[in-house]
Copies of this chain bind each other. A is one copy, B any other.
Amino acid sequence: MTYSVAVSGASGYAGGEILRLLAAHPDIEIRTVTAHSNAGQPLVRHQPHLRSLSHLTLQDTTPEVLAGHDIVVLALPHGQSGQYTDALADTPIVIDAGADHRLTDASAWAQFYGGDFHAPWTYGVPELVVDGAKQRELLAGATRIAAPGCNASTVALSLAPGVAAGVIDPSDIVTVLAVGPSGAGKSLKTNLLASEILGSANPYAVGGSHRHIPEIRQALVGAGAVGDVRISFTPVLVPMARGILATSTAPIAPGVSDAQIREAWADAYAGEAFVQLLDEGEFPRTADVLGANTALLGLAIDRAANRVVVVAAVDNLVKGTAGAAVQSLNIALGLPEDRALTVNGVAP
């Protein structure tokens, strides 16, 4: 059967990527695309790379327009999805690509986002280790799915195996990320201008204010972290349109061997197509996953510094957002998990 889909926020970067993936999905019909300020215009005016969708026109993002589809994807700024909840009550599957349904802790929401708190939906990172199982199991048959934060899922996938296996200490995590500006959306801000970012590395949200921090903490607690999970988290904008290269380190737990450490990750991701641990001594580049739904992890054990170092490469718009949504959707629908998703990146 073919499922009808409506995608809101279709003129933005996340919405555009969802459309790019769904356009190649044999079980999906993209019936409706909506946007706020650009309603009435052809989709390709705002997404000129989506030539196969040149027949679509952006409509207003209203409950009425979104209702009546098998699947609705909300790619909206945080705080905006709640207004569509009632109208979409009968929609079989709703995916929120925004932040509104990710956090389980209302106080964390209040601290990092503010505004009304919404109950969490099923978190869209299938490979995440959760209580000795995988998040995939919870996604089977799910009807309300929260696509992850791109940085959050990258770091959670980087560290959850070590936390679950007890080979690293989650109380003193340090993560620094090189990220492309598309993660910040198509926002008209001076710091996102090409002239500001070309040839430069620009830190932001330094010192613990980034909104993905509670999402990482939540994931690592879910993976089995005992005691406090503390994260020093610093993102740095670098001159590439897409990509996250997250370097995450945590202290080595006392008494564990190198083999035990490596096994924790190898076991967690054995057989996973979209989260792969590279061979010892190899580390990934963001170009290797461009356009792909793959998270590549490289693992080093630095005994001199007493830290495990995990370097993860993810395409923020695919595995970080839209690919996670489609993969989760495939699971929810009982389709092959990799439908319309690619393992191989577009490089160079």
Contacts and interface: CB of A to CB of B under 8 A. Distances in A.
Interface stretch (A76-84, A151-159, A219-227, A242-250): A242-250
B346 A290 contact: yes
Contacts of A51: 276, 288, 294, 296, 343-345
Interface string A189-201: 1101111111111
A256 interface: no
A29 to B, nearest CB: 16
29 contacts: A13-B195, A49-B345, A49-B346, A51-B345, A172-B307, A173-B305, A178-B238, A181-B195, A181-B198, A192-B195, A194-B198, A195-B348, A197-B198, A198-B199, A199-B242, A199-B286, A200-B243, A200-B286, A201-B313, A202-B285, A202-B287, A203-B298, A206-B300, A207-B300, A207-B309, A232-B302, A232-B309, A238-B240, A291-B346
A193 B197 CA distance: 9
A28 interface: no
Interface string A206-247: 111000000000000000000000111110111111110101
A5 to B, nearest CB: 16
A291 B342 CA distance: 12
A261 to B, nearest CB: 12
A283 interface: yes
A40 interface: no
Interface residues of A, number: 90
A32 interface: no
Nearest to A239: B239
A180 interface: yes
Contacts of A292: 49
Nearest to A204: B283
Nearest to A240: B199
